[in-house]
A and B are shown apart, each in its own frame.
Chain A
Amino acid sequence: MEGEEHLSSSVCKDIPNLLSSFVDTFVDFSVSGLFLPPPPPSPVPLPTRLPSPQRLVAIGDLHGDLEKSKQALRLAGLIDAADRYIGGSATVVQVGDVLDRGDEELKILYFLEKLKREAARSGGRIITMHGNHEIMNVEGDFRFATKSGVEEFRAWWEWFRVGNEIKSLCHGLEKPNDPMRGVPSSFRGVRKEFHDGFRARVAALRPNGPIAKRFLSQNVTVLVVGDSIFVHGGLLPQHTSYGLEKINEEVRDWVKGSTGHFSPDYCRTADGLVWVRKFSRGNEQECDCSALEHVLATVPGAKRMVMGHTIQEVGINSVCDDRAIRIDVGLSKGCGDGLPEVLEISGKSGLKILTANPLYQNKGNAATVDVGKEQGLGLLLGEHGGPRQVEVQA
């Protein structure tokens, strides 16, 4: 019976930790409807430069539209009908702007987290990036948030607070930090009924807020994979000379709360990495191809820059001899409701657009390559007509 007693006391020793993971699981489920697979055993360091994978998929701005985000992922053969990751060893890059304009921002953050964990187990990798809207929201600029988006954060806080209350009732657990500490109880000029929602949004997304720390601190601001540079807005020579690794680390440290309220200058000014439109706006004639050439030359081995940020009404397109690739198709219902398209870069077949656009199914002269996934078609880049963009503020 000695064994039994030993068992009983050791059972209780484990309970605080088990209660803590129970609460986290319950809160996650209540907020997102998801049960996440276990996280990787050790935290993955931020990637800045990665070798070329066999298959690289790039996805543009998502802006709170979960359903269209899933359509894009399905089009690329990355998730199945049950939303499970089936992309194998692919590397997937989402170029930022998950937040604002749509109603399911948290649900997308959670969904991407689930896919990151599933992908890691099958040798794949999903890398998320900062767009200007991530930076804005961490700084408390909520001008492009939707009413339902703010409500989603209010509901998040309800569950998160209950979770903390449950944890604080267990004596063996350290008292959880209060994420509302320092958050104003009201906002001047804002209608009363929205105060709770904005308080929750501030608490969640400000530097070191639970959502910022958990999800956004994994984002990179600039990424080089093989011969492609990924950046939300655009890279300029001064960014390269400042140091790409340094940029990624500084922005991450800011999101984690160690450098105050405002992001580094290169995220805030018009020529910041997440704001530049120099290479994503206008058609071939309007793009300064020699300036682009000059930036590419600052990053050894770089042949092209892949960008989001500016909605491309014609879909994914390229200018400057496939050196500037613009992948923001404005898929969110909150801005454009564009047809989902993603970019595929593979060792063998080069650059390809995977599109949901039915127009291209019968287009004789388009170089279509059936990728065998749902309604998806492969189009070799450059087969689109002249690019036209929609200018959207921020």
Chain B
Amino acid sequence: MGQIESAEAVAEPQTTANDTSKPTSLESALAEAAEYGSQHTESVEEMAQKALECPCIADLRTGPCDSQFSEAFLCFLKSTSEEKGSDCVHPFVALQSCIKANPDAFSNDIVRKEESNELGPALEYKIHPPKWSKESRSSKSRL
């Protein structure tokens, strides 16, 4: 019996494994373009622009930080550096500033609802706070 069980256990990972590591086509196209240099710049630009029209992005291209988002995302898509995005400091900083000035730039009803729904039965979660954070007991009489 033990043998049967262990045989099953060994076989299982093979059946559940599914291949998600395959490079996606936009990514590989961009990588290819990077490799072949500037002659392909136009098609990369074109591809990245097309990406901005995709439905996933639609809701992100509204609101006060729409242009900052688009620029940062576009730059990231086109980034060819080893640490992807590290050549996008300027558009990233611009997006940061916009979000700081408009904290609700991307907030949406679904997320807010969840947050206001916050965990029903006041879950007892005890922390040990540091001394500097405690309310003072100055009102206590010393007599």
> Which residues of A are interface residues toward B (Cβ below 8 A)?
7-8, 10-19, 21-22, 25-26, 29-30, 35-38, 41, 140-147, 150, 158, 162, 164-166, 168-173, 175, 178, 180-185, 187, 189-191, 194, 198, 202
Contacts and interface: CB of A to CB of B under 8 A. Distances in A.
Interface string B104-128: 0111101100110011001101111
B51 A18 contact: yes
B51 A184 contact: no
Interface string B42-61: 00000100110011110110
26 contacts: A7-B29, A11-B47, A11-B54, A15-B56, A15-B57, A18-B77, A21-B84, A22-B76, A22-B85, A25-B85, A26-B92, A29-B92, A35-B85, A37-B83, A143-B128, A162-B99, A162-B106, A165-B106, A169-B106, A170-B57, A178-B115, A180-B115, A182-B123, A185-B118, A194-B133, A198-B127
B83 A190 contact: no
A171 B55 contact: yes
A14 B130 contact: no
B134 A140 contact: no
A142 B129 contact: yes
B24 interface: yes
Contacts of A183: 119, 125
Interface string B81-96: 1111110010010011
Interface of B: 21, 24-27, 29, 47, 50-51, 54-57, 59-60, 69, 72-73, 76-77, 81-86, 89, 92, 95-96, 99, 103, 105-108, 110-111, 114-115, 118-119, 122-123, 125-135
A13 B107 contact: no
Contact of A142 (B29, B57, B103, B130): B130
A108 B131 CA distance: 24
Contact of B128 (A21, A36, A141): A141
B127 A182 contact: no
Given A25-B85, A191-B135, A182 B129 contact: no
B84 A25 contact: yes
A25 B123 contact: no
A190 B127 CA distance: 10
Nearest to B81: A35
A183 B125 CA distance: 7
A12 B24 CA distance: 11
Contacts of B57: 15, 19, 170
A11 B51 contact: yes
B59 A35 contact: no
Contact of A171 (B51, B56, B107): B56
A191 B134 contact: yes
A145 B133 CA distance: 10
Contacts of B26: 10-11, 14-15, 18
A80 to B, nearest CB: 16
Given A19-B56, A25-B84, A178-B115, A147 B51 contact: no
Contacts of B21: 41
Given A11-B47, A35-B86, A182-B119, A189 B129 contact: yes
A190 B55 CA distance: 45
A134 to B, nearest CB: 15
Given A19-B73, A35-B85, A184-B125, 16 more contacts: A10-B25, A11-B26, A14-B27, A15-B26, A16-B56, A18-B27, A18-B51, A19-B56, A22-B76, A150-B133, A162-B99, A165-B106, A166-B60, A169-B108, A170-B59, A170-B60
